[in-house]
Amino acid sequence: MKRMCLGIVTSLLLDGGILAQKPPLLPEKEVRALANELSGETAKRNLEVIATSHRQRGSQGFHAAAELVAERVRAYGLSNVEIFEFPADGKIFYGTQRSRPAWDAELGELSELRHRGLPSKDRKIPAEGEQTIRLCDYASEPVVLAEDSESAEVTADLVDVGEGTKESDYAGKDVKGRIVLVSAQPGAVEDLAVGKLGAVGIVSYAQNQKTAWWGEDENLIRWGHLETFSPNKTFGFMVSLKTARGLRERLHKGDKITLEAVVKAGQHPGNYEVVTATIPGAEGKFKEEEIAFSCHLDHQRPGANDNASGCVTILEVARTLQKLIGEGKLERPARTIRFIFPPEIEGTLTLLNAKPEFAKRTKAVVHMDMVGGGAETKAVFHVTRGPMSLPSFAHDVAWAFAEWVNQESYQFAATGRADYPLVAPEGDKGPLRAEYSAYTMGSDHDVYQDSSFRIPAIYLNDWPDRYIHTNFDSAANIDPTKLKRAAFIGAASGYFLANLQDANAEPLKELNEQGRYRRVSRALIRREALRDENLANYTQFWTREEQAVGDSLLAFLSRGITEGLQAYYGVSLMGNSLNPLKALRPIPRGEDLIRFQRKTEPKGPLAVFGYDYLEDHAKAAGVATPKLLNYEGLWGGGEEYAYEALNFADGKRSAQEIRDAVSAEYGPVPLELVLEYLRALVKIGVLEQVK
């Protein structure tokens, strides 16, 4: 019966056209040109090459990948192709990022030494009777060697210390001169195990990035890290759950396990390399403005979905736009379009600090981090909106195209017929089912949308992904159809924003109305979890945010046009006012006298990559770790609260208003925790208190 009904609807949809959805925002001829030209296969061929490099920051593998990307964009005909080099030596700061020295590895082998014919617990190993069993080999599987490992030649017994992060884990165990087996990340145990207790190395089976599929495949080897700036330099090897369980069982039986570790690796002064290229805008007043496409090029080998997928997808956007503009099928955009391939977070923060003109020119960013996960990865594709400290209509633009792709791809999957199925010949034919998601942290979009730069970022990403940060994150699990669809959403969004002017702003009326109702619906659902003053605060905050989304148009349009469009943002959450400002009633609070403002330097979020600005400077200032960092709210945790509390500190909001803002976004939080955090930032020189 369901199939019969579907057939009737399909007939109306395809034959009569009465239910057909026209493409949003762009003329259909431009949509058709993009859909026809974008190639998931071309993107995947590029991915297969990039995934052969072990792409750690500043390494030879990263350099090889950067050269490949630069060669591709030159071949595609883009302009201003450059590989910027920024010194990274562990001393230079780029805003809040302490530059991390480059890290390279030549050799990493971990072997067990056994004596033939005797149980290992009873033997004394004579050299002529040794049998070597290889456990880890960097040459064949680079993920086995923890990042920032140092050179060593060690033969030592293995000791199981459980998690390894607490002194109680070592009670009754002598680890001096031995190698420790731990379930935590190597970086979380090196200062205790190596620095304090004298261990000579680490073997870890840390299960980071836990999802519902955690532990199902015992053969996965997960990416490991040591602390870049720890004084207790050592080496770390990563092993699978299967290997770790075998070692633990033998140790618990009383076996003596002797390991031999040979490592040639280490940090050295190097450079952050950032590849950029442009499609210049048309001559006129908007040419100096830019829309950026961003990804991150670094990762362990293979790192296919994370994040070769994002890199090759914006490469495919670059190829397609350049080709269609050259053929006259698309007009040259009013604004310049820039493509950026940096190391994750630290490269973006370095670029925006070292080249501040980039930040000034960039009006919006399309950021892609993991966009190609196929069925095996269990990935869900997200179009993620920005933080509430930076509302923007740009997220409505991205969702308009994603929702349309959802409709077209589902129609094709259900009926075999659609005008724009966006299916790659070598790819899947299922629907996209993209999700419109609240702000989540963890990639370069955090840097762009930080209050230092305030650049709206469309964030396209997969989550969960069962193979993230493992040796199974391979090209075989990447779907060309997914790459094509992600490329279309990104290309259409970026091209629309690059062309947006007063003369073609009319489509924003319907877009903004749809976006408003979507946000209000979500807000009303969340209201059910609140009560008393939190409910009133929540309503006021969301009303203010809706006005701010309208104000974001000013970055693209003249004030007169913007004011005309703002009527479409005028309904309050309570549905009883066309002017959101009328719904606001200031509530006097004692903390209104305390206001905080961010200083112009240093620029960037405090949660960066491999370095904690707050932790480092708090020690020097004698400041205890703020309790906010460990707070768990209804919809977010400490990192999110801290990120937004800093972003909301604009010199206009009081501490109470900052507390109210982060409470509306992530759930109620005590004022004293927010105050403690803000005062800590004053003491380390990030904020200043104003009257």
- Residue 537 to residue 543: CA distance in whole angstroms: 10
pLDDT of residue 520: 77
pLDDT of residue 531: 65
pLDDT of residue 8: 39
What confidence tens digit (pLDDT) does each residue in 93-144 have?
Answer: 999 999 999 999 999 999 999 875 555 454 444 455 568 999 999 999 999 9
Is domain 24-99+271-500 classified as CATH 3.40.630.10?
A: yes
Q: Which amino acid is at 104?
A: D
pLDDT of residue 49: 98
Matching fold, domains 24-99+271-500 and 103-268: no
CATH architecture of 589-691: Orthogonal Bundle (1.10)
pLDDT of residue 567: 63
Contact 570, 576 (CB under 8 A): no
- In Å, what is the CA distance from 584 to each residue of 360, 538, 542, 547, 552? 33, 11, 11, 12, 20
Radius of gyration of the chain (CA): 27
Contact 83, 67 (CB under 8 A): yes
Q: Which residues pair with 290 in a beta bridge?
A: 336, 362
pLDDT of residue 566: 64
What confidence tens digit (pLDDT) does each residue in 439-491 have?
Answer: 999 999 999 999 999 999 999 999 999 999 999 999 999 999 999 999 999 99
- In Å, what is the CA distance from 167 to each residue of 162, 170, 262, 615? 11, 6, 28, 21
Tokens of 560: 């007169």
Q: Which amino acid is at 330?
A: L
Backbone φ and ψ of 229, nearest 5°:
-105, 15
Give residue 543's Cα distance to chain centre: 28
pLDDT of residue 471: 96
Q: Which residues pair with 687 in a beta bridge?
A: 598
pLDDT of residue 569: 53
**Residue ranges in the chain modelled with pLDDT below 50:** 1-18, 120, 122-126, 570-586, 588
In eight-state DSSP terms, residue 222 is B
CATH of 103-268, one of 3.40.640.10, 3.40.190.10, 3.50.30.30, 3.20.20.10: 3.50.30.30
pLDDT of residue 210: 82
Cα-Cα-Cα-Cα torsion 346, 351, 354, 357, nearest 10 degrees, comes to -150
For the chain, domain boundaries? 24-99+271-500, 103-268, 589-691
